[in-house]
Amino acid sequence: MSAPKPSPLRVAVIGAGPSGFYATDALLKQRESVSIDLFDRLPTPYGLVRYGVAPDHQKLKSVTKLYERTCSDPRVRFLGNVEFGKDLTHEDVRRHYHAVVYTVGAPSDRQLGIPGEEKSGCLSATEFVAWYNGHPDYAGLEVPLDAESVAVVGVGNVAVDVARVLSKAVDELAGTDMADYAIEQLRESRVKDVTMLGRRGPAEAKFTTKELRELGELANADIVVLPEELEVSEDSMKAIEGDATRLKNLEVLREMAAKPLEGKPRRLHIRFCVSPKEVLGGQRIEAVELERNRLEATQSGTIQSVGTGAFETLPAGLLLRSVGYRGTALPGVPFDARRNVIPNDRGHVLEAAGGAPLPGEYVAGWIKRGPTGVIGTNKADAMETVEQLLSDDLPAVDAADASPAAVDQLLHKRGVHPFGFEHWLALDKYEQEAGTSAGRPRVKVTAVEEMLRFAEAEAEA
Ligand SMILES: Cc1cc2nc3c(=O)[nH]c(=O)nc-3n(C[C@H](O)[C@H](O)[C@H](O)COP(=O)(O)OP(=O)(O)OC[C@H]3O[C@@H](n4cnc5c(N)ncnc54)[C@H](O)[C@@H]3O)c2cc1C
């Protein structure tokens, strides 16, 4: 039997994206006497809902209404503008909280590992997405939109998002909450051809059918799919047996391949069985060398690509790699560098992969299971973690340290000024009001200093 829980149970949740909010919500629902501090390194909450989900998919962002409700509970404090590892250390959370839940997401990306990818004009989709969504860290990114051809490496939903954004007419995006500077720069875009590159075949592509279909319905771009790249082997068909999404994708791709071009201003190509092997050009990318692949079934039945030795050159003045987000280590917290996650057993942090559990330390979301799944996937994931937390014996904490005031003092002493939820609500209102006159959901503030003024304004009032 586990020992009685401290009352109130003090929990630090590190990262205010979907998994941070779902973990907070699960704690509130399952325990009356709880006091939660929800931290984020940015003044703004909501993680990738604000800075990842595409601006032309606005409806999905309404999930933040639920998160807003979570934060209106008096047992929760939002402390934005506090970075774990810098403003608040591992030692601090162990001293001031009975438990900590890391929900920091997977902010980095994977490299292609090919010669020439350091050339200018080669970016990650992670950076490009953060740039057009107004993430403060990426507002100054240089995106060479003078390129007429763009290669997007990958055929997952993030690749679909960036290919769609680059293919749309700017007026289709100007009514969204895309960052103003991105709208301005996309207005000058000279992009004519966007080519998505899949290493394996159409049956293996990871995009979902709704997102794929949308690419075939763009007002500003013809879709180009080569019929010869849609041939699917018996092994591939066997591997996707019963997978409704993949089977439907094949159907949609065949319809796309049969569709005549309508002479729209841009073309969006979806290619399969090709791998980028080298980025060509001088200081700046001019083209990508592609190798054609054939597919082979492994002994376990999964389909892998194998180079054929046949090459082609795809002109490209901009390359966006979209081959996966990647978790990074937090100072003082165990990290599994092979899987790029915090090692855990159903959300309980382990001292190393396969090692002993660390008392009072938990993890949820992308940094727990890797960068897969939609917003809702993080709910069940966070609930599993909270179940572990509430069933464990938690370390004792000195009563004087376990108070919100003790954390306030600590941050104050370090010159750290948390951005509270009331400050966020003021900023949110300002952004939405700025959007109203322009018929947009909001006009985003993209500089941290400007965001922080909403806290200063209140302090001066
Ligand atoms: C481009 C893109 C488009 C997507 N589109 C969709 C979609 O259309 N529909 C859908 O359902 N899902 C979509 N997703 C998936 C969805 O966004 C994720 O499932 C979800 O955001 C993961 O939640 P998370 O809380 O684990 O991570 P995140 O959302 O990344 O949140 C992590 C939070 O932790 C904070 N943080 C990081 N480090 C620290 C630190 N050291 N200290 C304090 N705070 C820190 C970050 O600032 C961030 O706010 C998309 C993802 C991407 C990348």
Express each pLDDT in 442-455 by its tens digit: 999 999 999 999 99
Q: Which DSSP symbol is given to 78? A: E
- pLDDT band at residue 328, thresholds of 50, 70 and 90? very high
Let me know: does 82 contact 15? Beta carbons within 8 Å.
no
Tell me the average pLDDT of the chain.
96
- Residues 126-181: pLDDT tens digits? 999 999 999 999 999 999 999 999 999 999 999 999 999 999 999 999 999 999 99
User: Is pLDDT of 218 > 90?
Assistant: yes
Could you tell me which of 264, 144, 247, 152 has the C-alpha nearest to residue 202? 247
Q: Give the chain's length.
A: 461
Q: Compute how many other C-beta atoms are within 10 angstroms of the C-beta atom of residue 183.
A: 18
Q: What is the distance between the alpha carbons of residues 456 and 433, in angstroms, rounded to a whole number?
A: 20
Q: What percent of the chain has pLDDT over 70?
A: 98
- pLDDT band at residue 233, thresholds of 50, 70 and 90? very high
What's the rounded mean pLDDT across residues 234-253? 95
Let me know: does 16 contact 45? Beta carbons within 8 Å.
yes
- In this structure, of 4-8, 41-45, 147-151, 275-279, the range with the lowest mean pLDDT score is 4-8
What's the rounded mean pLDDT across residues 56-71? 96
Give the pLDDT of residue 458.
65
**Whose CA is closest to atom 1 on ligand 1?**
52
Give the pLDDT of residue 5.
77
Which residues lie with the beta carbon below 6 Å from any ligand 1 atom? 14-20, 39-42, 47-48, 52-53, 57, 60, 83-85, 103-105, 107, 129, 158, 161, 325, 330, 365-366, 373-375, 378
Helix (H) / strand (E) element for 344: namely strand 344-345
- Residues 254-288: pLDDT tens digits? 999 999 999 999 999 999 999 999 999 999 999 99
What's the rounded mean pLDDT across residues 301-308? 94
Give the pLDDT of residue 315.
98
User: Is pLDDT of 49 > 70?
Assistant: yes
Strand partners, 119: none
Q: What is the distance between the alpha carbons of residues 354 and 345, in angstroms, rounded to a whole number?
A: 8
- pLDDT band at residue 61, thresholds of 50, 70 and 90? very high
What's the rounded mean pLDDT across residues 307-311? 98
Ligand 1 center to 292 CA (angstroms): 34
Q: What is the distance between the alpha carbons of residues 164 and 155, in angstroms, rounded to a whole number?
A: 12
| Positive or negative: CA dihedral 209, 211, 212, 213 | positive
**285-297/274-281 β-pairing:** antiparallel
Give the pLDDT of residue 1.
54
Half-sphere exposure for 132 (CA within 13 Å, toward CB): 27
Ligand 1 center to 52 CA (angstroms): 7
| Positive or negative: CA dihedral 47, 48, 52, 54 | negative
**Whose CA is closest to atom 31 on ligand 1?**
17
Query: Of all atoms in ligand 1, which is nearest to the CA of residue 47?
Result: 49
Let me know: does 129 contact 161? Beta carbons within 8 Å.
yes
- pLDDT band at residue 6, thresholds of 50, 70 and 90? confident
Q: What is the distance between the alpha carbons of residues 48 and 42, in angstroms, rounded to a whole number?
A: 12
Ligand 1 center to 55 CA (angstroms): 15
At 311 the three-state DSSP class reads: strand
Give the pLDDT of residue 461.
60
- pLDDT band at residue 301, thresholds of 50, 70 and 90? confident
